[in-house]
Structure 1
């Protein structure tokens, strides 16, 4: 018997939790909402809130230890996405960008470069504001990821 598809949300700053719930409900998937603090989540049997310690990377570690080939991980955290992709999971950013084995290395390098530039004071702004276009791209990417896993037998 195949493993069920599960979704893990790196939830502390995730702007697409409600969109994820809608897609998960449509396909009958279990969602783990992982955070260091208590977050409100819908009271549904298929949504599970997981509160981890406030230790450095505790939520990332919890997700990475459980992610596998039938998992979809929602995160903006590039190092977490890298760990999950290496474990065979699908990883999506809240803007709908899929992290793959071929793209995650470049994403890590870009992240590290941007962090160095920020620390040096060369860059003072953050990412652009989250938009309706980002939300729409995410919904499409999540739907495609679920369909791909279902076709693969998950």
Structure 2
């Protein structure tokens, strides 16, 4: 059975993920360090993990596997989930797969090194847009249809 795991801390598409998963009758695990209100939806479970670096990521990585879908912007978590056979979507709908996860990890590491080398470098990332949200909804719809078949 497919489960949708959401790395819920700072996730901009929690509500959208819940709506699409509910339409497909797929259970959802919103994993966070706290601060989320509980959902009245019986398919949605809010999993609160202890405080600490990457505790939510480890919880998801230990459970996600073939047939599951993971929503995260965390590239190392995505790599673990892809290796375990889960399908992974970023918040903007981009799929992370065996084909592109290596490049995503390399780019993440490069950007981390650039930020460390220049303490005055600020952000540089683009904001989350309506088109990102729309791409996410389309991608999640396709992934859940495929996972259920």
* TM-score calculated relative to the size of structure 2: 0.96
1:101 to 84, 98, 102: 98
Corresponding residue for 2:14? Answer: 17
Corresponding residue for 2:142? Answer: 144
Equivalent position SS for 2:99: helix
Q: Quick one: distance in 2 between partners of 1:96 and 1:45?
A: 25
Please state how far the C-alpha of 1:41 moved relative to its aligned partner.
3.6
How many aligned positions are there?
148
Q: Quick one: distance in 2 between partners of 1:126 and 1:53?
A: 31
**Which whole-Å deviations, capped at 9, do the CAs of 1:84-136 have from their partners, x for residues lacking one?**
00000000000000000010010000000001111111742241110000000
What stretches of structure 1 move > 2 A for 4+ residues in a row? none
Q: Is the 8 A contact 2:39 2:45 kept in 1?
A: no
Q: Which segments of 5 or more consecutive residues in structure 2 lack a partner in the other structure?
A: none
Q: Which segments of 5 or more consecutive residues in structure 1 lack a partner in the other structure?
A: none
* RMSD of aligned alpha carbons: 1.1
Please state how far the C-alpha of 1:29 moved relative to its aligned partner.
0.7
Corresponding residue for 2:35? Answer: 38
Q: Quick one: distance in 1 between partners of 2:67 and 2:35?
A: 26
Please state how far the C-alpha of 1:37 moved relative to its aligned partner.
1.6
1:133 matches 2:96? no
Q: How does 1:85-100 map to 2 (within 5 A)?
A: 85-100=82-97
Q: Quick one: distance in 1 between partners of 2:110 and 2:43?
A: 39
Q: Quick one: distance in 2 between partners of 1:77 and 1:146?
A: 20
Corresponding residue for 1:29? Answer: 26
Please state how far the C-alpha of 1:56 moved relative to its aligned partner.
1.4
Equivalent position SS for 2:36: coil
* TM-score calculated relative to the size of structure 1: 0.93
